[in-house]
Structure 1
Amino acid sequence: MSQTRVDWIRGITVRQPWATCLLTGEKTIENRPSPGWPLGLYLLHAGLAVEGAALRLPLVATTIRGRQLERGAVIGVARLADVHAGDGRCTPWAEPGRFHLVFADVQELALPIPAGALGPWKPSEDLVDQVRLQLPDLHAPEGTS
């Protein structure tokens, strides 16, 4: 198995239930304390932690209803389209005083792929190959390798 990292796609780890909310496409904003996130494709990785209080929020509950909350796995791919400082008014998911990572073009994996990571990270070629088995049209943007 190759441990070579690829440069055209990154990973982001998100706690549950927020990861599943992003996966549905209803939540387009991920709130983060810093703006240092390059635009482009990201593997959506559901972390091991679950924020229990978030499960009781009506917006979250209706968004994840009937869905499995996978943990410790890559569950999809999305494009980070924008990062901006937020006042909390751009969507119901936005928190004031945080940087808003705006995701688009979410693609859900039929089978979650177990993986472990924290923060922004670069996936191995093997992990990207596993994702490509489920999303065969996933490829590096023109001009990258």
Structure 2
Amino acid sequence: MSAPFLPEGDWIRGISIKQPWTAAILTGAKTIENRPRPWRPGWVLVHASQQIDRPALRLPLVARSIRDRDLVTGAVVGIARITDCHQDPEGAPLCSPWAHPGAWHLKLADVQELPLPVPARGQLGPWRPTEDLIDQVLQQLPVFRP
């Protein structure tokens, strides 16, 4: 993809998520990501962190969603768009079976899995990807237009 098609400025961030949650997002089953603080809407590189949440592998909701998937770690594995960020009112039903009480819920849409993971280091909170990393991701998504 050539630069003229990209928006100017700070248009994309990285979000690091432990496996198996990342795999569940890539399947399209998990459309809510839980965070301790609010995030702004926009595009994010979906980064599978180095750690695997082993107890989560035994949750039926997770197990059904990620069946037979590789749990890649330490790489950008997809791209998604945050369309909303909210907290459910105390005592109200949760917005999704994936939502945690008291957390900020990031609504994920337009999730696209990369054909090949791109090794990268992430960090806690929203992080700014390098231009080289963005280029490597977008080479695998030739029809993507933010």
Give the TM-score normalised by structure 2.
0.88
Deviations 1:38-84 (A, max 9, x none): 11100000000111100000000010001000000000000000000
Count matched residues: 134
Question: Which one of the candidate residues 96, 105, 117 is aligned to 1:100?
Answer: 105
Structure 1 vs Structure 2: percent identity of aligned residues? 57
How far apart, in 2, do the equivalents of 1:98 and 1:88 lie?
Answer: 13
Corresponding residue for residue 10 of structure 1: 13
Question: Which one of the candidate residues 56, 59, 63 is aligned to 1:57?
Answer: 59
Q: Which runs of 4+ in 1 moved over 2 A?
A: none
Q: CA RMSD in A?
A: 1.2
Distance 1:94 1:33, change over 3 A: same
How far apart, in 2, do the equivalents of 1:31 and 1:88 lie?
Answer: 15
How far apart, in 1, do the equivalents of 2:70 and 2:93 lie?
Answer: 28
Question: Which one of the candidate residues 75, 80, 83 is aligned to 1:81?
Answer: 83
CA contact (8 A) 1:29 1:100 kept: yes
Contiguous gaps of at least 5 residues in structure 2: 1-8
Question: Which one of the candidate residues 119, 130, 133 is aligned to 2:139?
Answer: 133
Q: Mean Cα displacement is larger for which, 129-138 or 8-17?
A: 129-138
Question: Which one of the candidate residues 3, 26, 30 is aligned to 2:29?
Answer: 26
- By how many angstroms is 1:88 displaced? 5.6
